[in-house]
Amino acid sequence: MTVRKDDGRFAQTDSGLFIPTQHLAPATAAATDFVAIAERFLDTPYLWGGKTSDGIDCSGLVQIALQAGGIRCPRDSDMQEGTLGKAISLDEIRRGDLVFWKGHVAIARNTKALIHANAHHMTVAIEPAEVAIARIKIAGSDVTSVRRL
């Protein structure tokens, strides 16, 4: 997509669409904080296998956020767990760490909260880490790893 006109508030594309300029960045730009990118998806509906504004799943959220930051990322949570970052202890968690369960992944916002697309909330939600870990454990899955990029 090419911007043909920009009046400071709106940019007009070559196809005639108008986009608020605050939502534009050069195609080569990489976000500096992938967690902030994930936060932009708050309240997006949960959809298993989804990766659009119509719905998104946990690994799709992670993939979109990381790719916006210029970090290559596989699509599924098991592949993400097997290839991204290095394993750390849950006690060491900080912003940007990835928390994995069997078939699920969340992003640490800080030492106390996670952001993830999940079927419990049926949306992208911010949840206290302690609550999410306990709830998912009751459902039958322990944390399998925490990875730092």
> Which positions are catalytic?
58, 104, 116
Percentage helix, strand, coil, to 5, in the chain? 25, 30, 45
Q: 3-state SS string over 10-49?
A: EEEECCCCEEEHHHCCCCCCCCCCHHHHHHCCCCCEECCC
* Nearest-5° Cα angle at 96, 81 to 22: 120
Q: Which of 122, 118, 71 is nearest to 96 (CA)?
A: 71
Q: Kindly report the length of the chain.
A: 149
3-state DSSP assignment of residue 132: helix
Terminal Cα distance for the chain, rounded: 31
